[in-house]
Each structure stands twice: as C-alpha cells, then as structure tokens.
Chain A
Amino acid sequence: MRRIVFSIFVLVVLAAFTGGCGKTPGFHRGDGFTVNFPPSWIKNKDWVVEPRFNLKSKFEPYSVTYVTPEQDPDTLEPYASISIYRTKPDMQIWLEDEFPNIVDTFYNNGYDVLDKGEVKIDNQLAKWLVYRDNRKGLLNLEFYIVNDNNVLFRIQYCARDDKFSQYRPLFEGVRESIKLNRW
C-alpha cells in the first residue's frame, strides 16, 4: 500500500514538472521556432493574420495564432491575440532595407504608426513598430526578423485599445520564450 501511495506521489510530482505527458501547456513547436504561449490562451486555426506586405515565396508560409479566452461580449472577438508568421521570400531581403518599406505600407494604408525601434529576440536583431488601426480600435505591436537563411519572421501582438496594457506583460513573456531554430 505504501509503495502504491509513493508511486502515485512520484507520478504527480513528475506531471507537475513536465506539464503531464511531457508537454508543457502553451508550448508550441512551429516551423523553425519554439515558443510558450500563455497556457490559458486558445489556438485559433482559422485566424491567420496575413501580413500587409507581399513577398513572393515558393514555400507555403507558416502561421500560428493564439487568442485570449476572454472575448468582447458584443462582437465575440477575443480581447487580444499573438501571432507568429514565417515565410521565406524567393528574393534575398535585408531587414535594414525591408523594414522602412513595411513601415511605409502602414502609413500608406491609413494606420497611425506610433513608434518604432529595434531589439534582440533570441540574440537575433528584430525591428519593431507599434501602430493603431483606427477603424477597428486595435493596437498592434509587430516585430520583424530576417535570419541568415533569408527567412522572415513576424511576431504580432494585437489587442483592443483598452486591453493592450493589460495583456502586454503576457505578450512580453511569449516574446522572451521564442527560440529560433538555427542551421
């Protein structure tokens, strides 16, 4: 009896450390990266946030989106989402050259670009911008990375204007958890 109780205890402790069955809640292995999304957030297969730029690629782009379980009671839209998009453009691109074009695209499409800058994500240079979508009342924070193999990543945090600050710390946790596969 004591042995059985001890075995159950060991299993419970192991499950607590591994998240059960060896899978941590929120852990996601995408094409070319791993990331930890907030465990309570929901993967939304239908929600593909297409980028507002057109880079032709012979490869199918990869995209994953997680959304808050909390929704607007009227529109049933989630309060916030985090999306990671990855593509390999056919043409060689450089972040230094491409980023100003991306920013211009937002200006030209009527978005308010509020701020921009650069930071490192998993030791890789990333350029970011914050812009407001006045039509939908959404704030967006986007990070762009181009790695040595000409692969472009876009990490997007999108939230309702009044919810942006509330979920921002969760997004920062996600951003810090991103690990890019290197080859």
Chain B
Amino acid sequence: MRHPKEITMEYTAEVLQETVKKSFAQADHLYVMETLNMYGVEPGELERVKVQLAILKLCDCDLDRLMHYVTRAKRDYRDVLFEAENF
C-alpha cells in the first residue's frame, strides 16, 4: 500500500490538461478550462495551477461544483487547498 506522502502531484499545466481530459467528457473540456482559468487572473489569486488542480479534485467531475469551487477559490484560495488536503 502506498502511503499518501509517496503520491506526489506535479502542479503543471500539462498535468492540469491531462486531468481535465480524464475527468470530463470531450464536449466539456473547453468549458472546464475556461471556468478553471477564471481563477488566477486577479492579484492575490496565487498558486494558479495548484489551486486549479485542487478544484478539479474537489468538484469530482461535476460542472456545478466546479463553478462553486472556482468562486470559493477566488474568495480565498487557501480554503480550497485546505479542503483538498483533507482527502
């Protein structure tokens, strides 16, 4: 059994795109990327890809939850990272 610590995640744009491709139907890819890219455009919206990957993890392939977590990240991105940490 692998310990969670051994499972490392690279926070890169490539990993992000791969995760979107694996998690959503092709028809939704553009919408998902556009929604994710709403995060990280304002000053103070730090750690863009890391947060976007956390959003993908938390939304569990649900488009409504995707928007919900993007909105939350824009309010305070550390809340989203905190919740992603819980799993």
Contact of A181 among B1, B4, B50, B78 (CB under 8 A): B4
Contact between chains at A149 and B1 (CB < 8 Å): no
At the interface, yes or no: A53 with Cβ under 8 Å from chain B?
Answer: no
At the interface, yes or no: A68 with Cβ under 8 Å from chain B?
Answer: no
Residue of A nearest to B3 (CB): A179
Q: How large is the interface on B (under 10, 10 to 19, 20 to 34, 35 or more residues)?
A: 10 to 19
Interface of B is mostly: helix
Contact residues, A23-58 vs B (CB, 8 A): 31-32, 34
Q: Which A residues lie within 8 Å of B59 (CB)? A: none
Q: How large is the interface on A (under 10, 10 to 19, 20 to 34, 35 or more residues)?
A: 10 to 19
Contact between chains at B85 and A151 (CB < 8 Å): yes
At the interface, yes or no: A6 with Cβ under 8 Å from chain B?
Answer: no
Interface residues of B (CB under 8 A from A): 1, 3-5, 9, 50, 54, 57, 78-79, 81-82, 84-87
Interface residues of A (CB under 8 A from B): 18, 22, 31-32, 34, 59, 88, 122, 148-151, 179-183
